[in-house]
Structure 1
């Protein structure tokens, strides 16, 4: 699998205390097609019950990206809510953040990591994600 370095001057942290929760909520509830209108209280619960990845500019400490993983930390994970701030796009940060998540999860020895995307297949393919081989085996309860 290809390794992706974060662009110089950036770092990733899983420390939930570093998250700019207000920015994350604004990004997702106002700018992410899958989370438009998500209430702040629901976003807070999602953060509190997930493994979170913040992407930061080292010089300013400002958060410029976010990813969330729902996992049992033993067998399964779902990567979701991946978002790069509009002003930080176009520098490879999304791919680098997805690779950082992949690498962090690899240490857990999970059987499967899933995600759903309507528009960023090429970003995730670069770090090893592929379409479901047997989609007929999968089912969903709720929104599709």
Structure 2
């Protein structure tokens, strides 16, 4: 069995690979400027999924580490999808000691609802209380 590990050590995370994926392959961050990406990574708890030392998965959590967290930028490199690596990555995310006891943990997903349901996520109990400012095309130019 291949060795899969999850790390939060920034020295072991290939941020250049994360940037390439988010900028070119994600449906949520295409065109993100590199300096903005770097600032976002510095101000979050980042998780890399490594298969035999090669980074194949990533997730990022934005949190105050006391009451709230938001899960973002979750992906598995396409050729490794369907092997349970996202589940293993998320298991590590939700087990992280700094993310315990939070009142609210949120995320937004277009199509991975069954994956997140395994971790207790569901539509908001009171959607009428939620609001957002959303600019989906903010990174697009021209």
Tell me whether the two structures share a fold, i.e. TM-score over 0.5. yes
Per the alignment, residue 78 of structure 1 pairs with: 70
TM-score normalised to structure 1 length: 0.88
Q: 5+ residue gaps in structure 2?
A: 137-142
Q: 2:116 aligns with which of 124, 140, 143?
A: 124
Aligned length: 136
Distance in 1 between the 2:37 and 2:77 partners?
17
**What do you get for the CA RMSD once the two structures are aligned?**
1.6
Once the two structures are TM-superposed, the CA of residue 90 in structure 1 deviates from its matched residue by: 1.1
Deviates more, 1:92-101 or 1:76-85: 92-101
Distance in 2 between the 1:98 and 1:111 partners?
18
CA deviations over 1:57-91 (Å, ceiling 9, x no partner)? 13xx1111100000001100000000101121110
Per the alignment, residue 127 of structure 2 pairs with: 135
Q: 1:20 aligns with which of 10, 14, 18?
A: 14
Q: 5+ residue gaps in structure 1?
A: 1-6
Q: 1:11 aligns with which of 5, 12, 17?
A: 5
Per the alignment, residue 47 of structure 2 pairs with: 53
Tell me, yes or no, if the aligned pair for 2:65 and 2:98 is still in contact at 8 Å. no
Distance in 1 between the 2:98 and 2:42 partners?
22
Correspondence list, 1:85-100, <5 A: 85-100=77-92
Matched position secondary structure for 1:37: coil
Tell me, yes or no, if the aligned pair for 1:95 and 1:127 is still in contact at 8 Å. no
Matched position secondary structure for 1:82: strand
Deviates more, 1:96-105 or 1:19-28: 96-105
Dislocated runs of 4+, deviation >4 Å? none
Tell me, yes or no, if the aligned pair for 1:68 and 1:80 is still in contact at 8 Å. yes
